Amino acid sequence: MTDIVHTPPATLTRAREIALGEGLQYVYTGNVHDTTGGTTYCPGCHQALIVRDWYNIKRCDITPDGKCPHCATPVAGAFETFHGQFGRRRIPLAINRR
Ligand SMILES: [Zn+2]
């Protein structure tokens, strides 16, 4: 697939904005350096909670029970306690299929 041109970052940003405008809450640009497009924002108070740049998680401010620390709105997902810098590592995920 090296013959296919990469999607321009501006197209990803526009698609994200359209999705957010339609009411989706967790929409991200991927495989690009775009901290705004890679960040998880609280659906209640809109504070930045998980700040990412590409695969680098720069900050994670979600309570261990999966809520915004500013307004206690639940954030969709499964979370563990985040200690310091996570970096660019990825965690393998096993999905059970029936
Ligand atoms: Zn909040």
User: What pLDDT digit, counting tens, does each position of 19-64 carry?
Assistant: 999 999 999 998 899 999 999 999 999 999 999 988 888 888 999 8
pLDDT band at 89 (very low <50, low <70, confident <90, very high): confident
Q: 46-51: long-range contacts (C-beta < 8 A, 24 or more apart)?
A: 47/71, 49/75
37 sits in which H/E element: helix 35-38
Domains of the chain, by residue range, sit at 1-88
Are 34 and 55 spatial neighbours (Cβ–Cβ below 8 Å)? no
Q: What is the pTM of this model?
A: 0.80
Nearest to 24 by CA among 9, 38, 43: 43
Name 63's Cβ contacts closer than 8 Å, sequence gap at least 6.
Answer: 69
For 1-98, list the strands marked E by DSSP. Answer: 40-41, 48-53, 56-60
98 CA from centroid of ligand 1 (Å): 36
25 CA from centroid of ligand 1 (Å): 13
68 CA from centroid of ligand 1 (Å): 5
Residue 43's pLDDT is what?
95
